[in-house]
Each structure stands twice: as structure tokens, then as C-alpha cells.
Amino acid sequence: MPTIVFISPKGGVGKTTSSLTLGTQLAKHGAAVTMIDADPNRPLKKWGKGGRKPDNLAIVSDIDEESILDAIDVAASMTPFVIVDLEGTADKIALLAVSQADLVIIPMQPSELDADQASRALKVIAQQERMARRSVPHAVLFTRTNSTIRTRTMTHIANSLREAGIPMFDTEMNEREAFRGMFSFSAPLEALDAADVANVPKAIENAERFMNEVLDTLRRNAATAEQGAA
């Protein structure tokens, strides 16, 4: 029953879009999912009110640092997947959520500014690792990228992160209208009308790759943990 935490100190990087994409794709494949909306703006709560939320996807909102641990525990006892959408890194709630994570995902756009900001999230993870004396699996996710063009800046940042030993997803979340359309029409990707939103199939393909890589990462981490405990 993995808990997956999305964290970013910078707005506009596609954090909530990525978390919702993962949650709805897991639900599409039959998994029961609880999404914990710990962003003060409550974007997931607003999305869920649109009436097109999958029945096997629950959204828990109005969460603060006093209730986050209980919320994660209850969700983990009820559904096999728990996804936490956090806003910022400075608050205690971020440290608490990371303490419960089986995987922390750090979305960022491939720019120097975003790389600098993402380092704050990495510091939160490092702090929790020191406190708990355990490794917290994590990886950077490039978001809002061009599906056909890879800039020199993007290549440089990716190489710098890997050289620093920071795990990265091979999958990127591309800049597509369909991802924005999920919020415009309060619907999962599969429920979007092609007459209203362009390139829905491409977005679904991107979402599937992301989901599969997250699942593969969780399996590898679980296997590594079992080997370490043996």
C-alpha cells in the first residue's frame, strides 16, 4: 500500500497536474486510490466537485499539519494507493508527509530557476532521512516539456542532476492542452471530448508511461528494501 508524495517549493511546475494524472490513471486500471489534497488552494477538491471523478478515487481535503499523519494512516488502511499533493516545503506538514512516503516525486520544469528551487525539496528529504535514519526513495520529474524538442539547457540540467546522484524519471510530463483540460472540464483524460481538447490520445499515452514507471520504481524499491532486511 504505497504512499506517494508530490512536493515542490515552486508553483506552476505541474505538481497537481502530475499527481492527478497518476491518480486517475491508477483508478482507470481498477486500483482504489485516495488523493490527499494538502495544498491550501484545494485544487483536487475543486476538481472532484465537477462530478466526473472515478468512483474508486477518493479525495480527502482540508488537511493541515495536525491531521496529515492520521489522514495518511486512514487512507492507507482503506485503499492500496495513497497520493499526497503538497504545496511548498517550508511547513511542518511537508516533513510529516515525507516521513510516511514510499516515494517522493519532485516535479520541476527543466530550467535553472526550477533546479534551484527543487533543491529545497531535496533538503526536506535529506532532513527526514537524517531524522528517521532511513532512506526516502525519491526522484525528479521533468514537467511541461516539449515532446519533440530537447533543449541544451534541459540536457545540461538533467546531466547535472544525474552527476549529483539525484534519481530522475525517464518519463517526462509533456506540455499538452489535455492536461490543462482535466481541470477546465473537471474530468479524467479519458473523459475529455476531442472536440474540446486537442491531442487527448497523446496525453493518455504520456500518462500511461508515467504511471508504469512509477509502478516499476515502487516495485524496485520494495525489492531493494526486502533484500536489505534479509
Tens digit of pLDDT for each residue in 136-158? 999 999 999 998 888 888 899 99
Other C-beta atoms within 10 Å of 33: how many? Answer: 23
Burial 124-159 (b: 16+ CB within 10 A, else e): bbeebeeeeeeebbbbbbbbbbeeeeeeeebeebbe
Q: Which of 45-49, 86-90, 105-109, 194-198 has the lowest mean pLDDT?
A: 86-90
pLDDT band of residue 229 (cuts 50, 70, 90) is: low
What's residue 226's pLDDT?
74
Strands 81-86 and 173-174, sheet pairing:
unpaired
Beta bridge partners of 168: 140
User: How far is it, in rounded angstroms, from Cα 98 to Cα 101?
Assistant: 5
User: How far is it, in rounded angstroms, from Cα 84 to Cα 16?
Assistant: 10
What's residue 168's pLDDT?
95
pLDDT average, residue stretch 204-223: 95
Give pTM, 2 decimals.
0.94
User: Using one digit for the tens of pLDDT, what is the confidence trace for 35-48?
Assistant: 999 988 899 999 99
Nearest Cα residue to 75 out of 8, 23, 25, 132: 23
What's residue 132's pLDDT?
84
User: Using one digit for the tens of pLDDT, what is the confidence trace for 4-34?
Assistant: 999 988 778 889 999 999 999 999 999 999 9
What's residue 144's pLDDT?
93
User: Using one digit for the tens of pLDDT, what is the confidence trace for 50-83?
Assistant: 989 999 999 999 898 999 999 999 999 999 999 9
Nearest Cα residue to 39 out of 93, 108, 87: 87
% residues pLDDT > 70 (the chain): 97
DSSP helix/strand/coil, 224: helix
Side by side, the strands of the sheet bearing 3-6 are 57-60, 33-38, 81-86, 3-6, 103-108, 138-145, 173-174
Residue 91 has pLDDT above 90, yes or no: no
User: How far is it, in rounded angstroms, from Cα 119 to Cα 109?
Assistant: 13
Write the single-letter amino acid at 9: P
Domains with residue ranges and CATH for the chain: 3-229 (3.40.50.300)
Other C-beta atoms within 10 Å of 219: how many? Answer: 11
